Amino acid sequence: MELSVVNFGGGKAETFQVKESFLSRPYNAPLVHQVVGSHFANARQGTRAQKTRAEVHHSTHKLFRQKGSGRARGGMSSSPIRVGGGRAFPSRVDENFSQKVPRRMFRAVMAMAVSQLCREERLHVVKSMEMKTPKTKALIKVFEDMNIEGKVLLVDTEIDNNVELSARNLPFADVCPISCLLPSLMIGADKIVFTQRALQWAEEKWQ
């Protein structure tokens, strides 16, 4: 499959050959949902805690007499069925929410995401991604020349420092090296700009 490659900021287009099998992956929504959910779960922290019945402040006095009231035998006020009592299975700060994602599953989802972006014409390929000076207005001009609107994600094997500094003040632009790219970042962007070497890296690693 041939993709058009332009200069960063527009210009003469060239052709770039990519394997058909890499850009023709069918989109498996449940699999993508599982991998994206696992990344959010791995970033989750146990920042809340609840008390057991041994930790709540309570009295050991029997609530009412054992017989004669017509009710079930009542124990201490720390019972989980009582208002203000402890929790039977409390949440802990050291609770582990991590989920393991197999390497083959992650690579398959990344290839699916790239294929879907290509089918929806949300994928742009540039020859290189470099700027002479760190200037936000210059980066906005680049997006205008390439007819890119919405939330933009710039992906390269090694992010140019000037590009990173130029995109830092733009709320709709973000940069990410290809080795740290996640499916959630790709799905959340309206347009993604890959460099030619980044796409070659992806084709080699995620095939």
| pLDDT average, residue stretch 177-196 | 91
| pLDDT average, residue stretch 105-133 | 91
Beta strands per DSSP E along 90-190: 123-126, 152-156, 173-177
Coil vs helix vs strand at 206: helix
Global pTM value: 0.78
Using CA atoms, how far apart are residues 128 and 99, in angstroms rounded to an integer?
36
- pLDDT tens digits along 51-99: 999 999 988 888 888 888 898 888 888 989 888 899 999 998 888 889 9
C-alpha separations of 198 from 7, 26, 55, 176, 181 in Å? 15, 22, 54, 11, 11
- pLDDT tens digits along 32-57: 999 999 999 998 888 889 999 999 99
* Per-residue model confidence (pLDDT) at position 12: 67
What secondary structure letter does DSSP report for 25?
P
* Per-residue model confidence (pLDDT) at position 45: 85
Q: Locate the domains of the chain by residue range.
A: 2-44+97-206, 47-96
Using CA atoms, how far apart are residues 49 and 148, in angstroms rounded to an integer?
46
Mention the CATH class of domain 2-44+97-206: alpha beta
